[in-house]
Amino acid sequence: MYRLLRAPFQPVTYSRWLHLCVPLLVVAIWLFVVPEWPWGPMFLVLPFGLVPWVRLAEGLQAQFLLTPYDRGSAEGAISLAPSAHWGDRWRTVLWLETRMVMAIGAVAATVWMPALTVDLIASALGRSLDPGPLAPLIPERRWVAALLAPVPLVVLVVVVVLLGELITAIATRLLGPSAAERLSALETRTEQLLERTRIARELHDSIGHALTVAVVQAGAARAAGDAAFTDRALCAIEETGRAALEDLERVLGVLRESGQPPSQRPTLAEADRLLESARASGSEVDAQLTGPLEKLPGPVTREGYRILQESLTNVLRHCGPVPVRVRVEMAADRLELEVTNTLPGRPGVTTGGGSGLRGMRERAALLGGEAETGPYEGGWRVRARLPLERIR
């Protein structure tokens, strides 16, 4: 009740009323051209609703006028994307038909309620009224007409508020994100959270460790007063600082990519730059990429790129410039990605078992796939299978 009383003072009530009235512009133009067939617009919207970009246009208009609090948000209750499949197209057709029907009710109330108020005021002032469709609603007594004069305007406000709430609920149902769009948004958000967690961990581990070592070594050198010890401490500080700078540059690279919009994030179509980067680091990379990778669905190609990136980074970080074999194949129903490398026989080499490998498995699981990591024929292998049918 309190919400209903507050609604007349909120701008969104009148933007929703405008949204309700817009379809009658099409009807008015149609009646001017073909007045003998007033129901023509109801059939006219059918082919337009099947056009994919109509859903985008309707989503933009609905978000701008019905849910302005979500304006500009890619994760709002109303989707801002063209129809991806026939289910979206038929929902758009149903939305257009529903919008036309509700527009008739909204415009009828907008025209007849103020007209009824004018007639009631005229009757209260004792003026004679021309016979019309509203004449039966006008009471004969002037004082009754005076009391009833504000009622149609109140009814108009109530109708506008209720129709606005109803059309907004229908819009979120018919123009809301599809299952594939929700999955893509969830994938994007999860990717951001994973990257932020990884950045925080790496900054804490690498930069924090480097600063701690530098402070301890500098303090010990100053307290020792020994030239040879000071020289060794300075060498340790220099080596630690160089390693920290490399880690910082790598983290800043992740930050720069995290600032890109999802549509501009790297995909497997750009995998060559990852392979060239690994070759420039001294690794011998044997790569075989098959299939039209540029046609992969957005979530699959972005997660595949990240898995390949993390795999090559782990090779360089833990094994150094060793031979690497990369296989990426787009099959009919899945994407196969495999990265194998040899393990150098020197002490201190680890294959890793932290959040990098866990992150790859989580990325694959988000898309309904799987990622395997572990020893393979005397080396190390990362193998991921990402389904395509669930994403299309």
Residue predicted with more confidence, 132 or 172: 172
Percent of the chain whose pLDDT exceeds 90: 7
Question: What is the strand order of the sheet 285-290 is part of?
Answer: 285-290, 324-330, 334-342, 379-387, 370-376
Global confidence as pTM: 0.48
CA distance 337 to 334: 10
Provide the residue type at 182 as one letter.
R
Q: Which strand (E) or helix (H) includes residue 112?
A: helix 86-124
Selection from 157-166, 211-220, 232-241, 246-255 with the highest mean pLDDT: 157-166
- Spatial contact of 341 and 308, defined as CB atoms under 8 Å apart: no
Which residue from 188, 196, 187, 198 is spatially nearest to 356, judged by alpha carbons?
198
- Determine the distance from the C-alpha atom of residue 265 to the mean position of all C-alpha atoms in its chain, rounded to a whole number: 13
Q: Tell me the average pLDDT of the chain.
A: 78
Higher pLDDT, 32 or 3: 32
Q: Is the pLDDT of residue 82 over 90?
A: no
d(CA 40, CA 36): 9
Q: What is the pLDDT of residue 263?
A: 44
Reported as a single tens digit per residue, the pLDDT across 309-344 is: 888 877 877 777 789 999 999 887 889 999 999 887
**What DSSP letter does each residue of 263-312 carry, written as one string?**
GGS--GGGHHHHHHHHHHTT--EEEEEES-GGGS-HHHHHHHHHHHHHHH
pLDDT (mean) for 217-229: 74
- Residue 262, pLDDT > 50, answer no
